């Protein structure tokens, strides 16, 4: 059906700029493929076929000229429903675009729809989506990962050129990228503006990118990165030309954190990752062991911080100005409880309750502020490591994509503990990329490359080098 359009992103953009792409035919075939895939795998919450086809009538020539771009459903898109995976925002249609969407459109990107996710980003397996649970296109009995499950799933499933915009708070890009066998970049906190992102945890949220190849991520990162005067946490730092980053890692120093290869990690995954690192040595990289001693406290600190900030951010969805509403009955507390009880999912309620408790008078110092001190210790660990190494390499996830029957047996704390390898780097706000490095039980294994703040060039270079191994 779409064989003539099975081309890399770079080739599509080149052909598009040359006027060699029939957009009517291309987008008809693209959406036909998406609808066919979506019936089996539930990767989108909202498709924007009508809007996309209208946009092809007024193509903006630029770095992305007519390239299809999917968007995680917690990033605001003007005129396209944006739910953050929650029924409380079921009918929300933003009147504006997030900054990253504005930049994407300016360079000619075409928004094709909003991908499935855990509600507000609350999850590791995308089973907390208020809509259909996305299924891994490599095995529909397994999870895509979370919370950006739909973004990774459609990136893996589509055999046509495409880039996905996603978002990570504690591992929501790296995890699904690993499970679905695609590349996923989480940039430095503040490297990409959060303006127009529906918040989960404000001090942790980062908009990033998924694609089949790291080079495609390099292209998109250069477009969406940069200072945004409308968003206070965006960094005022120059943006390199990431498209010039190559795969030459000769002389690169790669650290191997011993805490990330513990007994909790599947043995075959550890071997796969260590074998990959050994092959990178063959390309001229230098390796050595390092220690991140505060890793053991990362999950506990992360969930206290994330839940506390989530309970604050979700307070506005009370049935008055924001979110779903009901006929006004009872006093305010009764009304708010009714609306939030009806439209929030179970995991959202759990996190709001735990987060509210942790920020109550008398407990804030004991929990939230103490967790923030642990966060600083974790940052200090990384800073010491990056004095010796350019990047750190580790497994992305402790296991391959689990089956839904396995996930059903897990307790909430088991879901949280699954993030042991992605949470520390997200707490520190450093850039990271997951790229495939082989398989276990016919499912992808991801290798995680992490660098110091604003070290995106190093992780991109390392990612390309791994892809060059053709594992």
Active site residue 147: yes
Weakly modelled stretches of the chain, pLDDT under 70: 1-2
Which residue(s) pair with 435 in the sheet?
A: 447
- Look at residue 321 in the predicted model and tell me its pLDDT: 86
100, 112, 107: which is closest to 49 by C-alpha?
A: 112
Query: Could you tell me how many residues make up the chain?
Result: 471
CB-based contacts of 133, cutoff 8 Å, min separation 6 = 42, 116, 126, 127, 404
Strand partners, 287: 254
Q: What's the CA gap between 10 and 121, in Å, rounded? A: 31
Bridge partners for 69 per DSSP: 111, 163
Per annotation, catalytic residue among 172, 174, 193, 311 = 172
Nearest-angstrom CA–CA distance, 434 and 186: 9
Nearest to 219, CA basis, from 238, 239, 236, 241:
241
Q: What is the pLDDT of residues 157-183, one digit of tens each?
A: 999 999 999 999 999 999 999 999 999
Show Cβ contacts of residue 112 under 8 Å, excluding neighbours closer than 6 positions.
30, 31, 34, 47, 48, 49, 52, 68, 69, 70, 162
Taking CA atoms, 97 is separated from 65, 93, 101, in Å, by 19, 10, 6
Among 48, 72, 212, 461, the active-site one is 72
Instruction: Note the pLDDT of residue 127.
Output: 98
Domain that includes residue 79, residue range: 1-471
How confident is the model at residue 2, as a pLDDT? 52
Q: How far is CA 276 from CA 34, 86, 283, 322, 398, in A?
A: 33, 39, 11, 48, 16
Burial (Cβ within 10 Å: 0-12, 13-18, ≥19) of residue 20: exposed
Contacts of 293 (CB under 8 A, 6+ apart): 259, 381
Catalytic choice (48, 70, 126, 147): 147
Number of domains the chain is built from: 1
- CA 283/CA 250 separation, integer angstroms: 6
Report the DSSP beta bridge partners of residue 449.
393, 433
- Which CATH number characterizes residue 20's domain? 3.90.1300.10
Laid out side by side, the sheet with 253-257 consists of 44-47, 110-115, 68-72, 163-168, 206-211, 183-186, 432-440, 443-451, 391-395, 253-257, 286-290
CA distances from residue 122 to 200, 234, 240, 263, 434 in whole angstroms, order as listed: 8, 23, 33, 26, 20
Tokens 């009764």 correspond to 334
Q: What is the pLDDT of residue 1?
A: 46
């Amino acid at each position: 059906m779409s064989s003539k359009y099975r081309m890399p992103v770079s080739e599509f953009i080149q052909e598009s700029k040359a006027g060699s792409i029939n957009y009517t035919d291309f987008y008809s075939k693209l959406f036909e493929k998406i609808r066919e895939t979506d019936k089996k795998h539930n990767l989108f919450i909202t498709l924007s076929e009508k809007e996309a086809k209208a946009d092809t009538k007024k193509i903006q020539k630029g770095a992305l000229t007519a390239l299809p771009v999917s968007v995680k459903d917690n990033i605001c898109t003007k005129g396209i429903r944006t739910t953050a995976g929650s029924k409380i925002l079921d009918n929300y249609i933003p009147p504006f675009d997030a900054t990253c969407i504005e930049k994407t459109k300016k360079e000619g990107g075409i928004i094709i729809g909003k991908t499935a996710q855990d509600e507000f980003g609350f999850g590791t397996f995308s089973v907390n989506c208020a809509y259909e649970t996305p299924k891994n296109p490599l095995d529909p009995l397994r999870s895509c990962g979370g919370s950006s499950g739909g973004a990774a799933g459609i990136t893996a499933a589509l055999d046509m050129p495409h880039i996905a915009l996603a978002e990570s708070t504690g591992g929501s890009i790296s995890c699904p990228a690993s499970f679905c066998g695609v590349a996923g970049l989480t940039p430095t906190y503040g490297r990409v503006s959060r303006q127009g992102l529906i918040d989960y945890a404000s001090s942790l949220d980062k908009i990033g990118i998924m694609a089949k190849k790291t080079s495609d991520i390099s292209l998109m990162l250069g477009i969406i990165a940069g200072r945004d005067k409308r968003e206070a946490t965006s960094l005022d730092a120059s943006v390199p030309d990431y498209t010039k980053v190559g795969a030459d890692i000769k002389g690169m120093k790669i650290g191997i954190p011993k805490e990330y290869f513990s007994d909790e990690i599947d043995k075959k995954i550890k071997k796969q990752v260590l074998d990959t690192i050994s092959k990178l040595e063959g390309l001229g990289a230098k390796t050595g062991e390092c220690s991140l001693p505060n890793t053991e406290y990362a999950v506990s600190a992360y969930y206290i911080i994330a839940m506390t900030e989530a309970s604050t951010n979700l307070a506005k969805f009370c049935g008055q100005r924001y979110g779903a509403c009901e006929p006004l009955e009872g006093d305010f507390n009764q009304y708010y409880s009714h609306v939030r009880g009806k439209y929030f999912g179970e995991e959202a309620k759990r996190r709001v309750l735990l987060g509210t408790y942790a920020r109550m008078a008398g407990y804030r110092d004991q929990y939230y502020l103490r967790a923030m001190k642990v966060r600083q210790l974790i940052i200090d660990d990384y800073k010491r490591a990056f004095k010796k190494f350019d990047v750190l390499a580790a497994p992305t996830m402790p296991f391959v994509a689990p089956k839904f029957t396995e996930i059903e047996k897990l307790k909430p704390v088991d879901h949280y503990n699954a993030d042991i390898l992605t949470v520390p780097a997200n707490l520190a706000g450093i850039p990271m990329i997951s790229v495939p490095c082989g398989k276990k039980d016919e499912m992808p294994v991801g290798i995680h490359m992490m660098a110091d703040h604003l070290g995106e060039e190093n992780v991109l270079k390392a990612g390309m080098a791994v892809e060059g191994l053709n594992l």
